[in-house]
Each structure stands twice: as structure tokens, then as C-alpha cells.
């Protein structure tokens, strides 16, 4: 019996870790464009969708899952460059314009995918089959891969921000765009690369969650609101905040899902998020 009880807790911890990982992956790109660059990108969710569709397409055409992941990132980055160069760069000082334009883009992507692929879900085969046994209970191996991949992605992003030449350029531009220009930093180029990078991260998130979710054109939209909660609750502009925010929102959601109906748990998580923002307006880990 004690072994069984332990197994239940272990499974709970793994489930929390999975939910947190998914949230973290999706919120990471948003933490950069919204948290750091202050761009309300309503199409962030659709970049996640595009990532998942790309993996599916690569697999259908005989490519491996991991090739699909790489392709998803490339497609995400390319879409990001297109969006930034084509639309967002004209609207940096018009936040309402950014919301409307990116919302429009999100609708175009959704409907475009619907027209091209139809409403039935796409299929992505998991690259890692089978389950792993923990104290008599089985846990899908792929979820462990996802957890590791999520934490690696956050760590690598953190290292790029803290240690690289581009990271310093971005931190400088975010703090003071005019001073960055005076210091010789091409701020337009930095914004473009950052936007492309965060779009690639969104597509990466979509690719990684693809094997365990229903891949339909509207899948990304469902992630948009929770991702914004994560960034706001965690603290806009801080990667540590994204981890903290994902842990709080994802952890609470998973634990509550065990106890109460899903709709109620969603509402309770939202109330918790409101409370956190009331008590810590700058988030759990302010920048």
C-alpha cells in the first residue's frame, strides 16, 4: 500500500512536470516578444500550431520526427522574419495596431490551415515509443523526453541572453533603444532577430507537444491565454519568471484537475493568477 501511495504521488509530480514543460515552452517565446520587447503578439499561438503542422507534414513525407522539429523551427523563424519585416516593424510605437494586425494574422493562419488541411486532426507519431515503469505504474517515455527538452530549451535561451554578444545587444536595446543606437547597435536588426527567434521557439513548442495533443488549426489559440498568464504572473521580462509562472499555473492546474472538474480548475487558476498579480504587481520574479 505505501508503495502504491508513493506511485500516485510520483505520477502527480510527473504530470505536473509535463504540464509545466508545455506551458514553459510555449510561454518562452512570448516572454521575449511580450515580456521584453513589449509586443502583444496575438499570433503567437498560431506559430505553435504551424510548428505542429510542420512536424506532421515532414513525417507524412517520410522524414523523422526530429527532422520535423528542426524544420518547424526554420519555418517558425522564417514566418517571424516575414511578420516583423512586413508588418510589426511599422507599428512599434502603436501597440493597439500590433494587437489588431497580429490578431488578423492569427485568423489568416488558422483559416489558411483549415482550407489546406481540413478540420480533421493531423497525426504525429511519437519518436520514443512505449512507457517506463515506476512502482507498478507506467508513464509514457515521450513525456520524459518533453520535460528534458523543455528545460534544455529554457537553459539554452537563458545562456544566449546572458552570455552571448547578441544577448547583450538585446538586453541593451530592451533597456533603452536610443542609447543602444548611440552605442552602435543596429536596433532594427536586433528586434528582427529576437522576433524570429521567439517565433522559432513557439514553433519548437508546437513541434514538441505535437505527439501528445490533437493537431488542429485552432490548437494554438488555446495556449495563448495561459501563456500570457504565465508571463504576467511570472514577471514580464524575466526568464526565471517564466519558469516560476509556468510552475505556479501548470502545477496548480494539474493538482486541481485531480480534485475538481476541468472548467472549475481553469477558473480557480485564473483567480489565483489575479491574486498573485494583485499582491505582486511586477510578478513572482520581477526583471
**Which residues are at the interface with other proteins (CB under 8 A)?**
168-169, 171-172, 175-176, 178-187, 287
Min dist. Cβ of residue 286 to other proteins (A): 11
* Distance in angstroms (rounded) separating the CA atoms of residues 116 and 111: 9
Q: Which three cell numbers stand for residue 61?
A: 513525407
* Distance in angstroms (rounded) separating the CA atoms of residues 132 and 143: 10
Min dist. Cβ of residue 2 to other proteins (A): 50
Using the minimum distance from each CB to other proteins, give the nearer residue, 104 or 186: 186
How many CA within 13 A on the CB side of residue 45?
Answer: 21
β-pair type (131-134, 137-140): antiparallel
Q: Which SS3 state, helix, strand or coil, does residue 140 take?
A: strand
Min dist. Cβ of residue 175 to other proteins (A): 5
Using the minimum distance from each CB to other proteins, give the nearer residue, 131 or 176: 176
Using the minimum distance from each CB to other proteins, give the nearer residue, 35 or 226: 35
Q: Any idea which residue has 488555446 for its cell?
A: 222
Min dist. Cβ of residue 176 to other proteins (A): 6
Using the minimum distance from each CB to other proteins, give the nearer residue, 96 or 182: 182
Min dist. Cβ of residue 182 to other proteins (A): 5
Residues sharing a CB contact under 8 Å with residue 125, sequence separation 6 or more, in sequence order: 59, 65, 211
Using the minimum distance from each CB to other proteins, give the nearer residue, 171 or 282: 171
Amino acid at each position: 500500500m505505501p508503495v502504491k501511495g508513493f506511485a500516485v504521488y510520483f505520477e502527480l509530480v510527473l504530470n505536473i512536470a509535463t504540464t509545466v514543460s508545455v506551458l514553459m515552452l510555449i510561454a518562452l517565446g512570448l516572454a521575449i516578444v511580450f515580456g521584453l520587447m513589449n509586443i502583444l503578439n496575438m499570433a503567437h499561438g498560431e506559430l505553435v500550431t504551424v510548428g505542429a503542422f510542420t512536424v506532421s507534414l515532414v513525417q507524412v513525407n517520410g522524414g523523422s520526427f526530429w527532422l520535423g522539429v528542426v524544420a518547424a523551427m526554420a519555418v517558425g523563424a522564417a514566418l517571424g522574419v516575414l511578420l516583423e519585416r512586413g508588418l510589426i516593424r511599422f507599428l512599434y510605437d502603436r501597440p493597439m495596431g500590433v494587437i489588431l494586425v497580429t490578431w488578423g494574422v492569427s485568423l489568416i493562419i488558422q483559416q489558411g490551415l483549415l482550407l489546406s488541411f481540413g478540420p480533421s486532426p493531423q497525426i504525429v507519431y511519437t519518436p520514443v515509443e512505449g512507457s517506463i515503469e515506476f512502482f507498478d505504474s507506467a508513464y509514457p517515455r515521450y513525456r520524459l523526453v518533453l520535460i528534458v527538452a523543455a528545460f534544455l530549451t529554457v537553459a539554452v535561451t537563458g545562456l544566449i541572453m546572458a552570455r552571448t554578444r547578441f544577448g547583450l545587444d538585446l538586453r541593451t536595446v530592451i533597456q533603452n533603444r536610443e542609447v543602444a543606437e548611440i552605442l552602435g547597435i543596429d536596433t532594427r536588426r536586433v528586434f528582427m532577430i529576437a522576433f524570429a527567434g521567439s517565433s522559432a521557439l513557439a514553433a519548437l513548442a508546437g513541434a514538441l507537444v505535437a505527439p501528445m495533443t490533437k493537431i488542429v488549426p485552432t490548437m494554438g489559440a488555446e495556449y495563448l491565454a495561459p501563456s500570457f498568464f504565465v508571463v504576467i504572473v511570472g514577471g514580464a521580462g524575466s526568464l526565471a519568471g517564466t519558469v516560476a509562472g509556468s510552475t505556479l499555473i501548470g502545477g496548480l492546474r494539474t493538482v486541481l484537475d485531480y480534485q475538481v472538474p476541468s472548467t472549475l480548475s481553469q477558473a480557480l487558476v485564473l483567480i489565483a493568477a489575479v491574486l498573485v498579480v494583485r499582491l505582486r504587481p511586477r510578478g513572482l520574479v520581477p526583471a
